[in-house]
């Protein structure tokens, strides 16, 4: 099967191949927040957890902001992406989507309901690769690269992203969409 000739870059997504068995990365879609000669990092955007932000971090408004499993690195920390360019110290990932920024500003916006759950995603941990590691994993066929939009990254049904991206990539990939998370149950 011929892979798309897309190079990893900030704002692109990684879609795990069905054979990837790692707990974090099995059937994952990862948004790359950075990719350069120093390495790569991003967050898994399709694995919400049961807890809400107010349940795991003190000092946040008691609104139902979802939290996602972001990856295996720094799982004792919260990271976030959002659609508000006006947050101090945020870093653009792609047009209309930003990484981080001043957490006190975010909390204030949440309290004033100026940032809605549909405009921000919180993650426990992140996914990271050392220099050239991601390129090697792509060449080993662990990941398929694709492009995305802000609406696809921050959507109402993140748990369907993996299969939806595969279906949108054509018949050769669509067959993977029904691949069970654990092939021994097939």
User: Which of 45, 65, 18 has the alpha carbon at shortest distance from 149?
Assistant: 45
Nearest residue to 71 (alpha-carbon basis) of 25, 129, 7, 126: 126
Domain around 55: 13-185
Q: Does the predicted model carry a pTM greater than 0.85?
A: yes
The rounded distance, in Å, linking the Cα atoms of 178 and 163 is: 7
Q: Does 87 fall in a domain? A: yes
pLDDT per position as a tens digit, 99-121 = 999 999 999 999 999 999 899 99
The CATH number of residue 77's host domain is 3.40.1740.10
- Domain presence at residue 98: yes
Query: Which has the closest alpha carbon to 165: 66, 47, 27?
Result: 27
Is 79 within the bounds of a domain?
Answer: yes
Q: Is the dihedral of CA 41, 68, 56, 122 positive or negative?
A: positive
- The verdict on residue 3 lying in a domain is no
Residue 115: count other Cβ atoms within 10 Å of its Cβ.
21
Note whether residue 20 is domain-resident.
yes
Residue with tokens 């720094």: 74
In a domain, 100, yes or no: yes
Work out how many domains the chain is built from and give that number. Answer: 1
- What is residue 5's predicted lDDT score, i.e. its pLDDT? 59
Low-confidence ranges of the chain (pLDDT < 50): 1-4
Q: What are residue 68's phi and psi, to 5 degrees?
A: -120, 155
**Structural domain contains residue 4:** no
Alpha-carbon distance of 126 to 86, in angstroms, equals 23
- The confidence score (pLDDT) of residue 4 equals 46
**pLDDT tens, position by position, 158-179:** 999 999 888 888 887 777 777 6
Instruction: Answer for the pair 31, 15: CB distance below 8 angstroms, yes or no.
Output: no
For position 3, what pLDDT does the model report? 46
């Amino acid at each position: 099967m011929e892979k798309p000739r897309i190079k990893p870059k900030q704002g692109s997504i990684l879609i795990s191949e069905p054979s990837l068995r790692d707990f974090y990365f099995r059937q994952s879609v990862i948004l790359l927040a950075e990719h350069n000669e120093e390495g790569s990092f991003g967050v898994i955007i399709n694995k919400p957890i049961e807890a809400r932000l107010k349940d795991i971090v003190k000092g946040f408004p008691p609104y139902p902001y979802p939290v996602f499993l972001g990856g295996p690195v720094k799982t004792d920390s919260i990271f976030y992406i959002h659609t508000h360019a006006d947050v101090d110290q945020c870093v653009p990932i792609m047009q209309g989507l930003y990484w981080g920024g001043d957490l006190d500003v975010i909390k204030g916006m949440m309290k004033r309901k100026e940032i809605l759950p549909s405009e921000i995603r919180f993650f426990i941990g992140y996914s990271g690769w050392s220099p050239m590691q991601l390129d090697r994993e792509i060449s080993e066929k662990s990941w398929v690269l694709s492009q995305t939009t802000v609406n696809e990254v921050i959507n109402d049904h993140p748990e369907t992203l993996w299969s939806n991206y595969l279906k949108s990539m054509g018949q050769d990939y669509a067959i993977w969409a029904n691949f069970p998370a654990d092939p021994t149950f097939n």
